[in-house]
Chain A
């Protein structure tokens, strides 16, 4: 089984509410604060993007479902700060030390924001496994879809694609494997492919016979036919 965030194909969610393109970027001031706080805390260097995604996914299903988007972010951030030893539970109770933190020298300064955001964090790597599949080749997404490396661990293979027949559309090069990187097991770069699936392969009642879904999948998520 997988986790509550893996919701592709789920029934029962009701209509999408598009709103207007003129809506403000942040609906509430605290949304902006939550985003900025998460980015700035990430710059302390105590976790990577896969660890932070997994922290959100590990919110209990009840919290994940009832929390709004930025509530998930801020709550997972608090959990991560304690898990990684940056803060203590007493700190969250506002009963901790107010002394300067050993990591304070790493705090992101206003003048470095533009550079940090502009640099980003590329996920492609030179080394790692050689490509096993070529463009056009038929492959099958593995079953089961949950992490093969760590029980209950992070993975990016959605459940709806597990076991489905697809075709290699494009090789993106070698990329950091989230299943490993989210658990401190190293970057373990693998070939990453865009894989095309016919909608009829994924859903019992596809809307149109020619529709397709493309997923980016790592080599270890795929097996040859």
Chain B
């Protein structure tokens, strides 16, 4: 039997969460198990260096370069690694393409699995009970809460990330974007359009 203890050790720490974190950091630092400077570095990485701008570059490249798009749909891990995107929580990537017939949407019902190297740390709603519970059963109602309404002829395919495969949605390229540079296209790619709860921005 796994250890199911009703007096979990965490209850020995202060109950207020910010103080709980602080207490544990202090204890671990005092014993030399944690270097606070390493924590700062981890935070800086996910706050400032790795985020949805990476995924947007991948999408913009796929929109611009049919060869890259084919490679991306065939073996996303290798294709995005060639652009410099690989690492923790992105070791096994699969990219799924939206079409007029099929809209893709990604969830992790069991925890919060998300393609970190391409999208960074998941937003709060992605980790919420409401999204985890409902995305698989009523994706269209969830999409409506994001302001997205799909045509009746478009089927929804929801990907529940139950293993170490991480999914990125390749949204459809918006109309009237012919001739735009990759940078201009990347600016149209919202984070949520790569999770499947949003659509790309339309050029103004």
Residues of A within 8 A of B (CB): 5-11, 13-19, 21, 23-30, 32-37, 39-41, 44, 49, 53-54, 56, 58-60, 63, 68-71, 74-79, 81-83, 86-87, 89, 91-94, 96-101, 103-104, 107-110, 112-114, 116-124, 150-154, 156-158, 160, 170, 172, 175-176, 178, 183, 192, 194, 196, 199, 202-203, 207-208, 210-218
A16, B6: Cβ atoms under 8 Å? no
Known: A41-B28, A69-B124, A120-B89. A21 touches B190 (CB 8 A): yes
A107, B138: Cβ atoms under 8 Å? no
Residues of B near A68 (CB, < 8 A) are 17
B114 at the interface (CB under 8 A from A): no
List B residues 1-28 near A (Cβ within 8 Å). 1-4, 6, 8-10, 12-13, 17-18, 20-28
B145, A75: Cβ atoms under 8 Å? no
Interface size range of chain B in the complex: 35 or more
Known: A17-B128, A18-B197, A113-B38. A5 touches B111 (CB 8 A): yes
Which of the listed residues B9, B125, B141 has the most CB atoms from chain A within 10 Å of its own CB? B9
B47, A32: Cβ atoms under 8 Å? yes
With the chains together, A120 CA to B85 CA distance in Å? 11
Surface stretch bound by A, among B57-65, B151-159, B177-185: B151-159
A158, B10: Cβ atoms under 8 Å? no
With the chains together, A116 CA to B12 CA distance in Å? 31
A26, B47: Cβ atoms under 8 Å? yes
Residues of B within 8 A of A (CB): 1-4, 6, 8-10, 12-13, 17-18, 20-28, 30-35, 37-43, 45-47, 51-52, 86-92, 94, 107, 109-112, 120-121, 123-125, 127-134, 136-142, 145-146, 152, 155-165, 190-192, 197
